[in-house]
Amino acid sequence: MWKYIIIGSITLFLGATYLFSKNHGAMVAPDGEIAAVQSQFEQAVSKNKNIALDKTIKAYAEYRSEIMKEQQAANEAKKAEVEGKIETAKSEFASADAEYQSITGSLEAIKNEKSEAFAKVAPVVDLDADSATEEEVGDAVKELMDKVVELERSNAEADARIAALGAESERLTALIAAARKLAQDRQARLSPPELKCNVLTADRQWDYVILDAGINKGIVIGSRLAVMRNGKKICELNVTLVESTRASCDVVYSTMITGERVEVGDSVVSVRNK
């Protein structure tokens, strides 16, 4: 058995040596199979690289095209916006220029009006329009205006004094009329028709009463007054004495209603109302 094993091992060894020698020669030979395979492999790798590069280049070109389109669209929008702003600026500039021209024209008109006014005002303030300066005319006009203001103030004060004198005159006229009326009433022995007062004291023993009004309400000595109660005349009084805020009266019994008598608190008015 060992004999066959040894023979088999030698056979295998010799076969392996033969194959190794053959393959080694093919590997080291310039035109061997490995060189051919290696060349094919390199070609495949190169082709794959070219394919990947082509895909990369194509993808980059598509991406770049999209970026360029977006950039172009953005540039177009920006251009349109800028052009719109330029048009707006042109319009505003034209408007501003027109306004400037208008203002310039107005200034020229004002200058002309100023010159005309200067020529008219200078003689008014006793200055020569050809030789006087604007400052001299301005000072003269200011002085004249100050005089006008002073005159207006004086006139206002005079008007106020006249108004005060008029009011005082009216007051004195009213007082004189009232005094005349009072004198006439006293001469006629009449108290004012609007007189209203009350009985302050009623003395039944001496038949006289005292009223809570006197000269202050125009009561006249010798005048007749009426005593009223609940809208009805009770009797008449004859004024015998008048003081500043009091008046003494005698009861005229011939006018007394039967069964009545004067009471404290009764109202008293002028008989001119009755």
> Per-residue pLDDT tens for 12-42?
555 555 555 555 554 444 455 556 656 666 6
Give the integer Cα–Cα distance in Å for 38 and 253: 170
The per-residue pLDDT for range 88-116, each reduced to its tens digit, is 888 888 888 888 888 888 888 877 776 77
Length of the chain: 274
Whether residue 252 contacts residue 236, with contact meaning beta carbons closer than 8 Å, is answered with yes
The per-residue pLDDT for range 149-190, each reduced to its tens digit, is 888 888 888 888 888 888 888 888 777 776 666 556 555 568
**Tokens representing 242?**
């008048």
* Band of residue 146 on the pLDDT scale cut at 50, 70, 90: confident
Q: Is 55's pLDDT higher than 70?
A: yes
The per-residue pLDDT for range 194-236, each reduced to its tens digit, is 899 999 999 877 778 999 999 999 899 999 999 999 989 999 9
Report pLDDT for 163: 86
The per-residue pLDDT for range 61-74, each reduced to its tens digit, is 787 788 888 888 88
Report the percent of the chain where pLDDT is more than 70.
68
| Nearest alpha carbon to residue 193 among 90, 92, 85, 269 | 269
* Band of residue 45 on the pLDDT scale cut at 50, 70, 90: low
Residue type, 56: T
